[in-house]
């Protein structure tokens, strides 16, 4: 993995802390679809018990949703790179939601593919990840 991500220091514990923070933001905020009226940890925690495959897909997709923009940001000399790669991260998070929610609906006992449309409410998580990735990107290359 170090051959692909040359600018990411995998020997530092700092990158793993950032990944865990990013995954928690994506999971907790993305699972709270009714944020203006209600915010809780019940559904995010409960979703993790539905499908181990979906959990693995989620962790993988959220990790690459931070690592790829982080690598591109480090290599770029573009003036607006923090915003551009932060937006890319938000888009990648949403694609990650699509993939992991598919496995939740496919493999869990509580949800089926008719419930797949709930994934479209994950925009809160994509927005939160976009903002948190911009903060991470900004702090990483200074």
d(CA 17, CA 25): 12
- Residue 34, SS3 per DSSP: coil
Q: Which two tokens stand for residue 46?
A: 């409960």
Report domain extents, the chain. 24-31+39-140
Integer Cα distance of 130 and 25 in angstroms: 10
User: What pLDDT does 56 receive?
Assistant: 92
Q: What pLDDT sits at residue 1?
A: 62
pLDDT at site 61 = 94
Q: Mark 60-71 as b/e (b = at least 16 C-beta within 10 Å).
A: ebbbbbbbbbbb
Q: What is the pLDDT of residue 87?
A: 93
Give the pLDDT of residue 38: 66
Count how many residues are written for the chain. Answer: 142
pLDDT in tens, 20-51: 999 988 888 877 766 556 666 777 777 778 77
Neighbours of 44 (CB within 10 A): 17
Rounded to whole angstroms, the Cα distance separating 87 from 139 reads: 16
- pLDDT at position 127 is 86
pLDDT value of position 46: 76
Task: Give the model's pLDDT for residue 88.
Answer: 94
What are the pLDDT tens digits along the chain (142 aa)?
666 788 888 888 999 999 999 998 888 887 776 655 666 677 777 777 877 888 899 999 999 999 999 999 988 888 888 999 999 999 999 999 899 889 888 888 888 888 888 788 777 788 888 999 999 988 876 5
pLDDT at residue number 101: 87
């Amino acid at each position: 993995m170090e051959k692909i991500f040359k600018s990411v220091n995998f020997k530092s514990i700092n990158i793993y802390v950032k990944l865990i923070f990013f995954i928690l933001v994506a999971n907790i905020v993305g699972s709270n679809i009714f944020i203006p009226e209600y915010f809780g940890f019940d559904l995010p925690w409960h979703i993790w018990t539905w499908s181990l495959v979906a959990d693995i897909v989620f962790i993988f997709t959220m990790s690459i949703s931070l690592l790829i923009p982080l690598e591109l940001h480090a290599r770029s000399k573009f003036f607006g790179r923090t915003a551009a790669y932060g937006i890319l991260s938000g888009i990648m998070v949403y694609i990650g939601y699509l993939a992991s929610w598919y496995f939740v609906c496919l493999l869990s006992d509580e949800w089926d593919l008719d419930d797949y449309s709930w994934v479209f409410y994950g925009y809160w998580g994509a927005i939160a990840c976009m903002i948190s990735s911009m903060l991470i990107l900004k702090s990483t290359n200074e």
